[in-house]
């Protein structure tokens, strides 16, 4: 999970966040750990400076904050989300923990990502750190180290990470004639979206023998002038496909800003996917257990587009495009739409309000108040009665509540789906609809508004302006 700031960092806030992360980490290593600043001095963290100048200034403030919290700092410069996690794994670095400061898309959103050797912190864990930092700030209990803060030691971790990636490719290809340059003779287009993925061109593909002529937007630019740095963005994918076709390339790769999402297309611009006969998991808590039980699962996908790859220790960031070959046999809906309802609440209460709205949606359907709407057996994956219930001794906390319903009527039978889910990062609820007949999404939107949002009173805590607009006109623009 990413902790986002809409405003500029302050040293006081950053200092408390840094100290709370240090304390959080060490408390999990043992309840009797000494948490005074000298005792936690040995923790190592990796500092990643963001792309925009404004955020680089924020980065320098955080450097001071974490140093004052008693951390031994290592600055690895511009890096990617997977690299930050791998800095806790790969020798000779193998840090205790890492923090990534990211100027992700849109450029106004700055935030932190926290990692330990077990992976990225979950939403409840980040909330725990934030709450403790807020309480200490309110009570002025945060202690600042009196030691002189040490400047972060600059390290070249990305070269080690790039070598790690090259070795994986060389081992997988195992070319009998040119082992070290297995991509010799291949032309591969990279669209880095002006994010941090340019290194993959010159430090990975080029050194493996590939021809990367025609690659796009390799230079970091936190204003993202060419397109939204998102593999799910139509412009990003269209430009990548066009570059592949124009240069007669063999492959095209498009990254998002911090390279935790990617898309891959073939020489005809079609999506690609490896392991086509294996299981794709839609509840991230389940995938590791499936592999332990002998069911091969290489990819766990989220509705946000993020994925967790088995070969990347199931870190909750991965590829979100290129699954077309796996879903090619599924029937395409006639129309689909995604609408958003912002939660009208103080930020600290937004998650609880969102949960209330989602659960009220479930109750309305179960009580028959939405005629023809039926909860789908797989639509409740994150909550206690769902089809993917976490039966472990220590079940994972719920990141975001969601429910899906199938929609039917006497005339058309089952003709659509509606899916309500909380956003993990933002105080809003996404409404996804699909229909197999024209006008179906607009009809479902009207029912959602007239039979659920208005009678339940949820219109008082949710901004339903998009629902109103689409329900009346069938359009958003």
What integer pLDDT is reported at residue 385 of this predicted model?
37
Contacts of 92 (CB under 8 A, 6+ apart): none
Determine how many CB atoms are found less than 10 A away from the CB of residue 328. Answer: 11
Do residues 189 and 247 touch, judged by C-beta distance below 8 A?
yes
- Within 8 A by CB and 6+ apart from 407, the residues are 372, 373, 414, 415, 416, 417, 418, 440, 444
Task: Report the candidate in 105, 62, 99 with the shortest Cα–Cα distance to residue 195.
Answer: 105
Query: What's the CATH superfamily of 159-327?
Result: Alpha-D-Glucose-1,6-Bisphosphate, subunit A, domain 3 (3.40.120.10)
Q: Is the pLDDT of residue 54 over 60?
A: no
Distance, CA of 414 to CA of 126 (rounded, Å): 41
335-473 is a CATH 3.30.310.50 domain: yes
Mean predicted lDDT score pLDDT of the chain: 76
In angstroms, the CA 463 to CA 477 distance is 17
Q: Is the pLDDT of residue 35 over 60?
A: no
Q: What's the pLDDT tens digit per position in 184-210?
A: 999 999 999 998 899 999 999 999 999
- Phi then psi dihedrals of residue 374, to 5 deg: -135, 130
Length of the chain: 477
Return d(Cα 173, Cα 175) in angstroms, integer.
5
Please check whether the two domains, 2-155 and 159-327, share a CATH topology.
yes
Lowest mean pLDDT among 118-132, 151-165, 338-352, 424-438: 118-132
Determine the 3-state secondary structure of 33 from DSSP: coil
Give per-residue burial for 442-466: e unless 16+ CB within 10 Å, then b: bbbbbbbbeebbeebebbebbebeb
Decide if domain 2-155 falls under CATH 3.40.120.10.
Answer: yes
Give residue-wise pLDDT tens across range 422-451. 887 788 999 999 999 999 999 999 999 999
Domain segments of the chain as ranges: 2-155, 159-327, 335-473
Locate 29 and state its tokens: 């290593």
Confidence of residue 223 (pLDDT cuts 50, 70, 90): confident
Helix crossing, 11-27 with 123-139: angle to 10°?
120
Element (H, E) at 407: strand 402-409
pTM of the model: 0.63
């Amino acid at each position: 999970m990413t902790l986002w700031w809409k405003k500029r960092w302050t040293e006081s806030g950053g200092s408390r966040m840094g100290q709370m992360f240090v304390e959080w980490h060490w408390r999990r290593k043992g309840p009797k750990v000494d948490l005074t600043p000298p005792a936690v001095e040995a923790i190592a963290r990796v500092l990643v400076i963001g792309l925009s100048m404004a955020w680089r200034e924020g980065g320098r403030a955080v450097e001071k904050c974490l140093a004052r919290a008693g951390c031994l700092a290592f600055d690895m410069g511009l890096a990617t989300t997977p690299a930050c996690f791998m800095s806790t794994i790969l020798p000779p670095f193998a840090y205790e923990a890492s923090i990534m400061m990211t100027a992700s898309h849109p450029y106004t959103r700055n935030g932190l990502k926290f990692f330990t050797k077990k992976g990225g912190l979950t939403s409840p864990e980040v909330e725990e750190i934030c709450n403790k930092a807020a309480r200490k700030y309110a009570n002025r209990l945060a202690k600042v180290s009196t030691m002189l803060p040490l400047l972060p030691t600059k390290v070249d971790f990305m070269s080690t990470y790039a070598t790690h990636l090259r070795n994986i490719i060389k081992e997988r290809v195992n070319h009998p004639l040119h082992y070290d340059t297995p991509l010799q003779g291949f032309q591969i287009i990279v669209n880095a979206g002006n994010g941090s993925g340019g290194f993959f061109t010159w430090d990975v593909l080029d050194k493996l023998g590939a021809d990367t002529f025609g690659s796009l937007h390799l230079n970091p630019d936190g204003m993202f002038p060419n397109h939204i740095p998102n593999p799910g963005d139509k412009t990003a994918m269209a430009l990548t496909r066009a570059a592949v076709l124009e240069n007669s390339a063999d492959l095209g790769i498009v990254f998002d800003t911090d390279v935790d999402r990617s898309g891959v297309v073939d020489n005809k611009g079609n999506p690609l996917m490896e392991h086509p006969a294996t299981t794709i998991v839609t509840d991230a808590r389940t995938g590791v257990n499936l592999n332990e039980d002998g069911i091969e699962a290489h990819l766990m996908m989220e509705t946000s587009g993020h994925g967790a790859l088995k070969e990347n220790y199931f870190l909750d960031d991965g590829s979100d495009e290129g699954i077309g070959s796996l879903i090619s046999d599924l029937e395409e809906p006639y129309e689909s739409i995604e609408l958003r309802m912002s939660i009208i609440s103080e930020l600290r209460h937004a998650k609880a309000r969102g949960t209330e709205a989602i659960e009220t949606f479930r109750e309305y359907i179960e009580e028959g108040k939405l005629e023809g709407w039926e909860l789908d057996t797989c639509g409740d994956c994150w909550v206690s009665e769902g089809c993917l219930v976490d039966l472990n001794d220590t079940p994972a906390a719920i990141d975001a509540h969601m429910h899906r319903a199938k929609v039917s009527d006497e005339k058309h039978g089952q003709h659509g789906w509606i899916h309500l889910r909380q956003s993990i990062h933002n105080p809003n609820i996404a409404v996804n609809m699909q229909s197999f007949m024209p006008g179906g999404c607009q009809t479902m939107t009207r029912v959602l508004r007239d039979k659920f949002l208005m009678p339940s009173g949820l219109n008082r805590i949710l901004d339903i302006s998009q629902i109103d607009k689409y329900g009346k006109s069938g359009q958003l623009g």
